[in-house]
Amino acid sequence: MAAATEAAVPAATAAEEEARLLRLEEQAEHGGGGAWEYLCLARRLRARRPAHVLRVGLALLNDASARSRLASEQWTLYEQVAVAAMDCQRLDVAKDCIGVLSKQFPGSTRVARLEALLFEAKGEWAEAERAYALILENNPFDQIVHKRKIAIAKAQGDMSLAIDYLNKYLELFMADHDAWRELAETYVSLQMYKQAAFCYEELILAHPTIPLYHIAYAEVLYTMGGLENLQTAKKYYASTIQLTGGKNTRALFGVCLLTKGRNKEEEGSELQSLAAEALLKNYKQKAPSKVPLISSMLKNMKLS
């Protein structure tokens, strides 16, 4: 009970922060003040609201008095407005902001990244690649730049190159579970299931209590087929059910599907019966109109 309460606190705080962001946004856009507070909060929450940030940020930059009061913080504002402008395809504004930053901080890696991002926004992929290559010459472990190279490959639809970049990235940053997941999903999109399975195995080893990785691994194994893979898939569907307290409908379906045409006496039949019961219970609670369909399906599978 205590753990549930602790988990609820960050969720409530996040909702409150989001509500505060929206209040400040409306206030700032209607001239009610709080513009800088809004922009700071948007950065801290990493909120993707480029049109609003662009309008509020430009108003501050165009007000010489307000800009001077920011002192050194104005350079952060220039950067924030530049990124928002690129998101909104206001490339003229982005170019002007980056130009100001370049004069203020010549040779800055941070500004060089913005210049490369501007090439990306223009669709000038080769120039962006060259700009990122120059940054990596000075700092081969620049994580942001490696991620941008992956994004460029995906933007051009070159999934093979994206996989190559992701593998090179993971050689340097093996603990980045988001990258492992992205690589797995990319392999799945190309029907390279064996490679995707390896990625999910790495994720489960590193994060054994995250049910998302268990069910993704089970579904890859189920897709691959074969007796050994199907038996392993059943184990990971079962672990997903355990980790979610029986609430994951996909895992319950997975266990049921793996019984179709199998001998009822085999090991695990009790799990399959329990999964069928849990499915019916969930549908009765959340989608009662679908209960006849589910009942008929389970009957055909000899599970009810």
pLDDT in tens, 170-191: 999 999 999 999 999 999 999 9
Taking each helix axis from N to C terminus, what angle separates 125-138 and 109-122, rounded to the nearest 10 degrees? 160
Taking only the tens place, the pLDDT of each residue in 105-149 is: 999 999 999 999 999 999 999 999 999 999 999 999 999 999 999
Note whether residue 279 is domain-resident. yes
- Provide the domain count of the chain: 1
Look at residue 81 and tell me if it is in a domain.
no
Q: Is 152 contained in some domain?
A: no
| Residue 235, in any domain of the structure | yes
Residue 292 belongs to domain spanning: 208-259+271-303
Distance between CA atoms of residues 276 and 269, nearest Å: 11
pLDDT at position 94: 97
Entry pTM: 0.82
Spatial contact of 193 and 224, defined as CB atoms under 8 Å apart: yes
Does residue 184 fall inside a structural domain?
A: no
Give a yes or no: residue 42 inside a domain: no
- What is the structure's pLDDT at 1? 41
Contact call for residues 80 and 58 (beta carbons, < 8 A): no
The ranges of the chain with pLDDT < 50 are 1-9, 261-265, 267-268
State residue 294's pLDDT score.
Answer: 80
pLDDT at 137 (0 to 100): 95
- Count the Cβ atoms, other than its own, within 10 Å of residue 18: 13
DSSP labels for 15-84? Answer: HHHHHHHHHHHHHHHTT-S-HHHHHHHHHHHT---HHHHHHHHHHHHT-HHHHHHTGGGHHHHHHHHHHH
Angle at which helix 177-189 crosses helix 159-172, to 10 degrees, equals: 160
